[in-house]
Amino acid sequence: MLNQRIVEKSSKDFRHDINALRALAVLGVVLYHYKVPLLNGGFAGVDIFFVISGYLMTKTIVNTIESGSFSLKSFYSRRINRILPALLFLVTAVLAISFFIYLPIGFRDLAKNALGSILFFSNLLYYKKDYFDASTETNVFLHTWSLSVEWQFYMLLPLLLLLISKFIDVSKKQFRLFFITITFLCFLVSMIAKNYWPSASFYLFPTRSWEMLVGGIAFLTEDFFKKNTPKETTYVAYLLLIFSLFWLSPTMEWPGFWTIIPVLGTFVIIVTNDKSIGIIKTQWIQFFGNISYSLYLWHWPLLVVASYLGFHDGIQTSTILIALSVAMAFFSTTYVESNKMLPTRSILIATFSISVLTACLTFFDTNDFLFRRDSIQISRYALDHSRELDIQFGTPDCFISSGTNNYNKSECLKIERDKKNYLLLGDSHSAHLSQSLRSNFDALNINMNQASSSGCMPLLNTVGQERCTDLIDYIYSKYLPTYASEIDGVIISANWIDGNIETLIPDIQKTIDYLVKLRIPIILIGQNETYLLPYATIAAREVNGNKNLSNKFINRKSREINSLLKSQFPKYYVDIYNTIMIKQISSLKVPYMFDENHFTKYGADLVSLRILTNANFKNFVNIKRKDLKTNRTFGSS
């Protein structure tokens, strides 16, 4: 990835273009994580790194197999010497600092993720989560998932190529065709898997391997392409990569069809090997290419820890943190990553020692003496009540999340003809209210169906993750028209700040118009407050003596979007944004939210009572069909 150097910089064969690709990739990732405006596709920098790794590793292995000098021991030793020192330095520093500032449950979770990072299985820890979810922004070692994928590639690629070389000469055309076939099959697996296991497809090696194998194809075919590719193609490829960093979006399925853009662009630049482009040899571009591995390692933990301490997004904060990331990367590259004095055996001993220590930290609350007992109890809510949360959200039958796609239409969309039938429609913000609303509706002899999915807005003609758009499109195009005469109302709830602010208002209005045309009453559950850290952590730290953290960590965007929607749709909107009216921690030390924006059952019960007593909602459940007019006179805003 960002860490591979086959040759030293002083060599005449040094690939300035590959180092420039490293610089482009790492800057894309860093600026994306620091939320630089317009750079929505910076996450594709990781895909650039994957192709580079595939090229360099295939080149190393094939060349040494062909010369008869390949050694597994030597290959793995070089990978260890290159990757582990800088990673161990980072992990040790983060654990030492976090010991004093993280609550015990948070520190144990951090230690578990650290262990996954240094043993290269962190992608296996994260694949049940969505990389683009807000909850991942508090994971200090989230970014190491890509290192784990690459390490797994390093482990398997030499074994695969050695096996193939027993039957096919690596210099023959048949070898290249076989390699290309394997790559294509891996690509097909990835394209199929994304439809069923989107999060696993993002994190796991089998669905990412094709990108690295494309890099291998680049090595095997570079002689042909260098001779037969017009010089202008390289410029187009650079423009394609830069364009992708701005045009791509987290709402796109990834990896998916659009992943071909950064992969193909990187492939073209590598195979053409154009040495005439002077700008890629400039000092600053080569500097960022040289520190790319360590910069990738340091930029994310610094951002997460700073956010935990209350230093939030902003130009000044981001500038300071990026500068600090570059400084730490330079130090790490100069004094840790480039240290050739440390033998492989010493690195392995250090890895083993730190792994054992980190494993112990995952089993014991080693820093609990720094915090009050009741604060520890509050912070543990999500861990201690995970099964209750599944029931609360309607998982997995009625709520599709990034880790599940088993929606049960017969159970969750059944019409009971002897009762009123309402549909709760939305993302996870409909799901966290589902159990509480359903229990209240059951008491009124009302049937409440549920169609909830993370990954898109619950609106007409929505865009987003396919698992979500498929369900929402089905609801609007088939379910609602079919059962319009038997559905007494649709309750739409969402984390509205996830929507595109430029199109959200017209999209909501189109949805309202559509439902009014079907003569189905509609109500919008408003935006609840959201936080920049899990609320349970904020509440626990407040109990431990840090006052007024709730206001410090409130997400202003949620307040702004609530005010906007409330003003635009006053007769349809149920305002639930008012924490003053909610007791945020129960007498049993249960917080009203367990993460940045989702209610616990305790919180959902309180909010549901506010919903049911809201004037708009009471009017909604008493609407007669004959009162609905298709010319939008009812409830028009």
Per residue in 282-324, pLDDT (tens digit) is 999 999 999 999 999 999 999 999 988 888 778 899 999 999 9
DSSP, res 335: I
* Mean pLDDT score across all residues of the chain: 87
DSSP string, 133-184: SGGGGG-TTGGGHHHHHHHHHHHHHHHHHHHHHTTS-TTSHHHHHHHHHHHH
Bigger pLDDT: 626 or 511? 511
With beta carbons less than 8 A apart as the criterion, state whether 309 and 101 touch: yes
pLDDT of residue 150: 97
Give the Å distances, CA to CA, from 365 to 72, 110, 125, 340. Answer: 40, 12, 20, 37
pLDDT at 404: 62
Tell me the C-alpha distance between 114 and 107, whole Å: 10
Of the two residues 635 and 152, the one the predictor is more confident about is 152
Q: What is the pLDDT averaged over residues 87-100?
A: 92
Average pLDDT over residues 235-242: 94
Answer whether residue 131 shows pLDDT above 60: no
DSSP assignments along 105-141, one per residue? HHHHHHHHHHHHHHTT-HHHHHTTS-TTSGGGGG-TT
Q: Which pLDDT band holds residue 2 (cuts at 50, 70, 90)?
A: very low
- One-character DSSP codes across 353-382: HHHHHHHHHHHS-TTGGGS-HHHHHHHTHH
| Per-residue model confidence (pLDDT) at position 632 | 35
Among left, alpha and beta (phi > 0; psi -120 to 50; other), residue 4 is beta
Query: Quick one: average pLDDT of 575-590?
Result: 70
What is the spatial distance between Cα 264 and Cα 417, in angstroms, rounded to a whole number?
Answer: 55
Q: Which residue has the higher pLDDT, 330 or 536?
A: 330
Measured in Å, how far apart are the chain's first and last C-alpha atoms? 53
pLDDT for 335 beyond 80: yes
Neighbour tally for 544: CB within 10 Å: 17
Q: How confident is the model at residue 4 (pLDDT cuts 50, 70, 90)?
A: very low
Q: Please, which residues have CB within 8 angstroms of residue 490's CB and are 6 or more apart in sequence?
A: 422, 423, 425, 480, 515, 520, 521, 522, 523
* 3-state SS class at 83: helix
Q: How far apart are CA 465 and CA 258, in angstroms?
A: 13
CB 426 within 8 A of CB 452: yes
Q: Helix, strand or coil for residue 422?
A: strand
pLDDT of 257 higher than 50: yes
Statement: residue 438 has pLDDT above 80: yes
What's the average model confidence in pLDDT over 521-542?
90
Whole-angstrom Cα distance, residue 557 to residue 563? 10
Phi and psi (nearest 5°) for 413? Answer: -125, 25
pLDDT above 70: residue 586: no
Q: Are 375 and 103 in contact (CB under 8 A)?
A: yes
Closest among 445, 443, 446, 430 to 491, alpha carbons compared: 430
Supply the angle between the helices 601-612 and 428-443 in degrees, to the nearest 10. 60
Angle at 51 between CA 45 and CA 53, to 5 degrees: 105
How many angstroms separate the CA atoms of 334 and 330, rounded?
6
Please tell me what DSSP assigns to residue 635: T
Cis bond before residue 37 (omega within 30° of 0): no
Closest CA to 480 of 512, 508, 455: 512
CB atoms within 10 A of CB 570: 12
Region label for 238, one of left (φ > 0), alpha (ψ between -120 and 50) or beta (otherwise): alpha
The one-letter code for the residue type at 286 is Q
- Output the pLDDT for position 152: 97
What does the pLDDT look like over 100-115, one tens digit per residue?
888 888 888 899 999 9
Tokens of 28: 């894309």
The answer to whether the beta carbons of residues 522 and 572 sit under 8 Å apart is yes
| pLDDT at residue 340, rounded to an integer | 62
Among residues 121, 167, 161, the alpha carbon closest in space to that of 141 is found at: 121
- Checking if the pLDDT of 565 tops 90, the result is yes
Q: What does the pLDDT read at residue 8?
A: 41
Q: What is the pLDDT of residue 274?
A: 87
Indicate the DSSP class of residue 258: G
Rg for the chain, CA atoms, rounded: 27
Residue type, 338: S
* Cα dihedral 382→384→390→393 (10° resolution): -40
Residue 269 has pLDDT above 60, yes or no: yes
Higher pLDDT, 490 or 455: 490
384 pLDDT exceeds 90? no
Q: How confident is the model at residue 133 (pLDDT cuts 50, 70, 90)?
A: low
pLDDT at 628: 46
pLDDT at 341: 58
Highest-confidence segment of 99-103, 436-440, 499-503: 436-440
The β-bridge partners of 493 are 426, 525
pLDDT digits (tens, 9 = 90+) for 393-430: 987 789 998 666 689 999 999 999 999 999 999 999 99
Q: What is the DSSP string of 508-568?
A: HHHHHHHHHHTT--EEEE-PPP-BSS-HHHHHHHHHTT-TTHHHHTB-HHHHHHHHHHHHH
Mean pLDDT of 246-266: 92
Mean pLDDT of 430-438: 96
Q: Tell me what pLDDT residue 637 has.
A: 31
Which residue in this structure is represented by tokens 């020692």?
353
Q: Is the pLDDT of residue 83 over 50?
A: yes
Domains of the chain, first to last: 16-363 (no CATH), 381-625 (3.40.50.1110)
Omega before residue 570 within 30° of 0, cis: no
Q: Whole-structure pTM over 0.85, yes or no?
A: no
What gap in Å lies between CA 248 and CA 128, rounded to an integer? 23
Bigger pLDDT: 244 or 134? 244
One-letter amino acid for residue 575 of the chain: D
The mean-pLDDT minimum among 26-30, 194-198, 341-345 falls in: 341-345
Q: Which residue has the tokens 């273009």?
A: 17
pLDDT at 12: 63
Beta bridge partners of 523: 491
Which of 370, 273, 304 is closest to 110 using CA atoms?
304
Cα–Cα distance measured from residue 28 to residue 43, given in angstroms and rounded to the nearest whole number: 7
Q: pLDDT value at position 370?
A: 61
Q: To the nearest 5 percent, what fractions of the chain are helix, strand and coil? A: 65, 5, 30
326 versus 595: which is more confidently predicted? Answer: 326
Asked whether the predicted pLDDT for residue 205 surpasses 70, the reply is yes
